[in-house]
Amino acid sequence: MVQPMKRIVRNGKRILVPATEKVVDHKGYDKQRMRNEPERIRFYKSARWKKARELKLISNPLCEQCSTPDDPVLAEMVDHMIETNTSEGWERRLDEEHLQSLCWSCHNKKTFSK
């Protein structure tokens, strides 16, 4: 029996996955966040955040979770260790010690496991 498949975009590539695989709808997630958290969305679009993100990726270009000397993994995201929806996280949102460089996989595991 042939397993039903669906087409998705993952890491910028179109791929086929089993139809039963859970896929996160980032567009729907972003629309919901924009309605509920406009201040956070404005922050992530700000020049200050983009500069902090760029500096973090320059200073630490490898994933801080899964990268090893034998298997380096390039970081693609900068993540807040304490979520910005808490008062402490919001106050420290540009603090470099509060940021970590992550690959997409580690970022999604952390973000969508909650």
The C-alpha atoms of residue 66 and residue 75 are separated, in whole angstroms, by 10
Higher pLDDT pick, 12 / 46: 46
pLDDT the model gives residue 50: 94
Element (H, E) at 80: strand 77-80
Six token digits for residue 71: 């298997």
- CB of 54 closer than 8 Å to CB of 96: no
pLDDT the model gives residue 34: 66
As a whole number, mean pLDDT of residues 79-85 equals: 89
Q: Which conformational region is residue 12 in: left (phi greater than 0), alpha (psi within -120 to 50 degrees), or beta?
A: left
Instruction: State the pTM of this model.
Output: 0.67
pLDDT digits (tens, 9 = 90+) for 1-41: 678 888 777 766 777 888 887 766 556 656 666 677 788 88
Task: Inform me whether the pLDDT recorded for 42 exceeds 80.
Answer: yes
The C-alpha atoms of residue 47 and residue 42 are separated, in whole angstroms, by 10
